[in-house]
């Protein structure tokens, strides 16, 4: 596998070419139709409008303000809406990342807890009137995070995150038996408690430190971006649940060739509940100080271990890593008027990658450390693949990636279409 990834990298590099990027000034808008694909969700369609403010261009490729509005739907029923805003100039010296998002999925995959300790039976996955691994879920998020300088490259971070979940069995209109599901089985057996089964509201408060020495915000070619912070969720809404979560991220970008032609990037992460009692529906949520996605969940699928089943590895704590080589292939411009894309700078890039991860703290497993169930729950998982990127003005990225899990029980093949690099 490593030889194959190395060969792909060398082949892509042989086609790489350098070019001059033009500095951008003022406002730059990018309206485009959303077209994507996800193995779990189907074909995505919708509309996205992204607005950049580069000011006088002195900080390009960084921007003064970035606003993203998107509405999309997947053919298997999921509807998503989001509004995100990022800026380091609205309040002098303070970086802001805010978002408002809504997600509705009448066929949301729920593979249970603890990964391989809960095997997946393909014969029950949306076949013969049974959708054993599906629930109906609605999700609202409103978040605002703030970062300010302590010293060069080191910042404090603080924020608030409101989450609201509404959960139930699959609607009978889809011709699946709502009584025959893993979710219903968990409720009947007491694994999911009655007071959490229908969802609930959560208010989280974040505080921590950020080390950021990147040479660019969107597509860095050198520097470090690391985060260490606590998320505290007191029982504001009197649900009976409260918890404290520790999150740690280390991202490193190593420029190998000049002009961003070849960059090696890797991301090491940990997230885990260190105290308290969380409700089951919060476990898959990956907290983030920079909000860019409508839904940021794992462990599994496009946000963590690409190509694996969506949210396949759910526990109280998990670790994961992403490793990829980013190869800038060639630049080009569109000199004539075409959907307001004239005089914009584009380039194609490729990114062979390897992802891996594991649950380190199971959730309501019912078996002790060292048992067979514990070993299955904490099993190592991985995937490998490659992607192709179309980048505009070094900030807007359209992405297509293919990935294959190492363990066939984790999934067969993943095709992921969307925007941005994974990290």
Pairing of strands 125-127, 27-38: unpaired
Domain ranges of the chain: 2-419
**What's 2-419's CATH class?**
mainly beta
Per-residue pLDDT of the chain (423 residues; tens, 9 = 90+): 455 444 444 444 444 434 445 788 889 887 888 887 776 677 889 999 999 999 998 898 889 999 999 999 988 888 999 999 999 999 999 999 999 999 999 999 999 999 999 999 989 988 899 999 999 999 999 999 999 999 999 999 999 999 999 999 999 988 999 999 999 999 999 999 999 999 999 999 999 999 999 999 899 999 999 999 999 999 999 999 999 999 999 999 999 988 789 999 999 999 999 999 999 999 999 999 988 777 889 999 889 999 999 899 999 999 999 999 999 998 887 765 554 555 678 999 999 999 999 999 999 998 999 899 999 999 999 999 999 999 998 888 999 999 999 998 899 888 888 889 999
Output the pLDDT for position 394. 87
DSSP-assigned states of every residue in 136-203? EEEEEEEEEEEEEEEETTEEEEEEEEEEEEEEEPPPGGGSS-TTSSHHHHHHHHTSS-TTTTTEEEEE
Q: Are 171 and 138 a contacting pair, CB within 8 Å?
A: no
Q: Is-contact 217 225, C-beta < 8 A?
A: no
pLDDT for the residue numbered 18: 40
Cα R_g (the chain), whole angstroms: 22
Beta strands per DSSP E along 39-93:
42-53, 65-74, 79-91
- Give the closest residue to 361 by CA, choosing from 301, 314, 407: 314
Q: At 7, is the secondary structure helix, strand, or coil?
A: helix
Instruction: Say what the pLDDT of residue 260 is.
Output: 83
Res 13: pLDDT: 45
Residue 340: per-residue pLDDT: 53
Predicted local confidence at residue 35, as pLDDT: 82
């Amino acid at each position: 596998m490593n030889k194959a990834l190395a060969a792909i990298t060398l082949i892509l590099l042989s086609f790489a070419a350098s070019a001059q990027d033009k500095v951008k000034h003022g406002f730059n808008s990018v309206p485009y139709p959303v077209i994507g694909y996800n193995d779990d969700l189907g074909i995505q369609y919708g509309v996205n409008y992204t607005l950049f403010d580069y000011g006088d261009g002195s900080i390009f490729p960084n921007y003064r303000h970035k606003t993203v509005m998107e509405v999309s739907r997947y053919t298997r029923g999921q509807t998503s809406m989001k509004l995100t805003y990022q800026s380091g100039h609205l309040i002098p010296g303070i970086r802001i990342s805010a978002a408002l998002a809504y997600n509705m999925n009448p066929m949301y995959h729920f593979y249970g807890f603890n990964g391989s300790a809960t095997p997946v039976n393909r014969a029950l996955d949306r076949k013969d009137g049974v959708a054993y691994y599906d629930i109906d879920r609605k999700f609202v998020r409103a978040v605002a995070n703030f970062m300010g300088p302590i010293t060069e490259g080191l910042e404090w971070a603080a924020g608030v995150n409101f989450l609201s979940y509404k959960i139930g069995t699959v609607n009978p209109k889809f011709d699946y038996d709502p009584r025959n599901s893993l979710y219903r089985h968990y409720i009947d057996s007491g694994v999911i408690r009655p007071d959490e089964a229908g969802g609930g509201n959560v208010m989280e408060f974040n505080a921590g430190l950020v080390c950021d020495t990147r040479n660019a915000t969107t597509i860095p070619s050198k520097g470090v971006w690391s985060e260490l912070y606590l998320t505290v969720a007191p029982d504001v809404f009197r649900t009976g649940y409260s918890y404290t979560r520790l999150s740690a991220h280390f991202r490193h970008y190593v420029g190998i060739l000049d002009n961003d032609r070849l960059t090696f990037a890797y991301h090491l992460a940990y997230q885990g509940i260190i105290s308290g009692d969380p409700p089951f529906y919060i476990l898959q949520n990956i907290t983030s100080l920079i909000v860019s996605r409508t839904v940021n969940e794992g462990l599994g699928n496009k946000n963590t271990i690409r190509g694996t089943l969506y949210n396949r590895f759910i526990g109280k704590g998990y670790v994961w890593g992403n490793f990829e080589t980013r190869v800038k292939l060639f630049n080009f411009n569109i000199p004539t008027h075409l959907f307001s894309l004239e005089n914009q700078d584009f380039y194609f890039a490729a990114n062979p990658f390897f992802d891996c991860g594991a649950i380190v703290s199971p959730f309501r497993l019912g078996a002790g450390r060292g048992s067979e169930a514990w070993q299955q729950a904490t099993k190592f998982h991985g995937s490998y693949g490659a992607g192709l990127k179309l980048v505009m003005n070094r900030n807007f990225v359209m992405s297509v990636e293919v990935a294959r899990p190492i363990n066939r029980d984790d999934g067969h093949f993943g095709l992921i279409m969307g925007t941005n690099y994974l990290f």
